[in-house]
A and B are shown apart, each in its own frame.
Chain A
Amino acid sequence: MADTLTPARPPDTRRPKAGKLTRQDGAAHVFMAPWLIGLVAVTALPMFASLYLAFTDYNILSSPTWVGTENFERLVGDDRFWSAAGVTVTYVLVSVPLQLAFALALALILDKGLRGLAIYRSAYYLPSLLGTSVAVAVLWKQIFGFDGLINQALALVGIEGQNWLQNPDTALGTLIVLNAWTFGSPMVIFLAGLRQIPEELYEASRVDGASILRQFASITIPLLTPIIFFNLILQTIGSFQAFTQAHVISSGTGGPVDSTLFYTLYIYQQAFVNFDMGYASALAWVLMVVIAIITAVHFTLSKRWVFYGD
């Protein structure tokens, strides 16, 4: 707004040099004001408050009391914490590779100048758009229920189904399938990446007599590693924070026998069902540190396998 008050500078035809440009600190901070306020009030302060709360006992009604590292000690002996961690790690380790493998395979099939690409891409992408909704979680509950579609289909081939969601051995599997079903969004990113690979490389290698497999291993995959890495980071971080599906399918319990107790679901239960805000904060901080470490490890390891062209 300040600009309307400053008098117009005389027209200057010389190209201004970057270093000579007047500093715009004031204007910049006016533009960034909303974000700066948000950064302090909605992100930074709550973050530190959350760290503080992790060392307190707090139930919202009475004021927090400092308990030192008690929450973290309690964590170590808490069976549900360990099962939540186990469920979440299993989910991430199985569902992320599965989803990315689907995404890459379909992207490769769709890549080669295919008629009707736009239609396939949209159809395969649609589940990604709906996948985190309550509606699809409700749908999944029906499909894998005892009378659900899966068992009806199995009955057609003479196999007697079971209640997939009531069985602790299979309940998590249904959520992994749900996640794999949403491979469309990494697929679209893979497709965009494949399009960046110069056709000349393939032509040159064809001249040299390289087989399709050889081309895939020596051209496609190496040039695609930045995209694979990007998708891997994105899906890993996202999967650690999965919540909706597990909450809806288990009616908020994480059952049966905690087999779908995602870590975020456990935080939710402690914070907003038991109102054990101190303990929940400790849980949240553990999650944040774990995600930060895993992301850092990903980035460190990426130097060995991600190939950035020049």
Chain B
Amino acid sequence: MTAPTLDSRRSPSTPGDPPERTVLPSVRRVRRRNSILRHSGLILFGLFMLYPLAWMAVSAFKPGYLVLTDPSLIPTELTLENFRNGWYVGNLSFLVFFGNSFVVAGSAIIGNLISCSLTAYALARLNFRARKVYFGIVLASVMLPMHATMIPQYIIFSELDLVNTFIPLVLPKFLATDAFFIFLMVQFIRGIPRELDQAAFVDGAGPFRTFWYIILPLMKPALITTTIFTFIWTWNDFFGQLIYLTDTSVYTVPIALNALVDSQSNQGVGTLMAMSLLSLVPILCFFAFAQKYLIRGIATTGLK
């Protein structure tokens, strides 16, 4: 317990003896017991928290009649029947919905990366009038609830005949409407030593070159955080996609899943769990690969 982990805080260089050296064996035994108790508690609590997810995963592979009668996590019978039953909504398969979700999320990521990094660079490094006012507007728009703008936005897109396309979901990202990422990137750029881009400036590089060759490569962690959160938010987004995507052919995964729940036909619980599980797979993969950045991103910015 006293051994410092990589994650433990405070500098390892703190002077002073490691406490182990002076403690009595009996004290050490008590500590070890406390440590075991604490770990057992934490593990139990973790299992309790993750139980619903595990239950979903197991139920997805259980034959329908067992899902509601057998709560155990060890299935007595395995089947892929649930996945087969849920795969089609109308005459389209989840393959289409996954494709749609990936197109929307991918475009949103590109949009956010381009528009937010350009804006952030100007706000953090360029010298122009009313810079503080602009930054204030960025901060204010972070707090603005989407409901204040969503109805006229819908009316505009509907007048332009763009409902049932991905444009209403993607275009705003290219216009840096996720102001939180601008804020995140401004904070990040402020941490980059000014001497670097000043030197480039002095050597005759203009703002664009400085941005492209000096700042952007150094911003990689902020860009990764933006990518991860844009992906997860877009993948999980329901409201926007529910409003704009009403034709089955443009359904994204959450909308298709919702339709599956609402459909009159008798969808078994197993089927719902199977498709729910599938819909979470991309996020779980992202989580597995990008965990480190994710936790760091959320710790420094409060995104979730």
Chain A residues near B23 (CB, 8 Å)? Answer: none
A68 to B244, CA, bound (A): 29
Secondary structure at chain A's binding surface: helix, strand, loop or mixed?
Answer: helix
State how many angstroms separate the Cβ of B194 from the closest Cβ of chain A.
10
Contact with B along A136-163 (1 / 0, CB 8 A): 1011111100011100110000000000
B1 lies within 8 A of A46 (CB): no
A115 lies within 8 A of B208 (CB): no
B141 lies within 8 A of A42 (CB): no
Contact with A along B237-281 (1 / 0, CB 8 A): 011001100000000001001100110000001001100110110
Within 8 A of A (CB), among B60-101: 68, 71
B-side interface size class:
35 or more
Best-surrounded residue of B116, B119, B154, B171 (most CB of chain A within 10 A): B119
Chain B residues near A2 (CB, 8 Å)? Answer: 206, 208
A38 lies within 8 A of B5 (CB): no
Within 8 A of B (CB), among A169-198: 181-182, 185, 188-189, 191-192, 194-195
Q: With A39-B141, A189-B302 given, is the CB distance from A118 to B153 under 8 Å?
A: no
Q: With A11-B202, A117-B8, A123-B50 given, is the CB distance from A135 to B147 under 8 Å?
A: no
Chain A residues near B21 (CB, 8 Å)? Answer: none
B156 lies within 8 A of A244 (CB): no
A268 to B114, CA, bound (A): 31
Looking at A28-36, A75-83, A207-215, the stretch in contact with chain B turns out to be: A28-36
A residues neighboring B (CB under 8 Å) = 1-4, 6-9, 11-13, 15-16, 18, 21-25, 27-29, 31-35, 37-39, 41-43, 45-47, 49-50, 53, 60, 106, 109-111, 113-118, 120-130, 132-136, 138-143, 147-149, 152-153, 181-182, 185, 188-189, 191-192, 194-195, 199, 230-231, 234, 237, 240-241, 243-244, 247-248, 251-252, 264, 267-268, 271-272, 277, 280-281, 284-285, 287-288, 291-292, 295
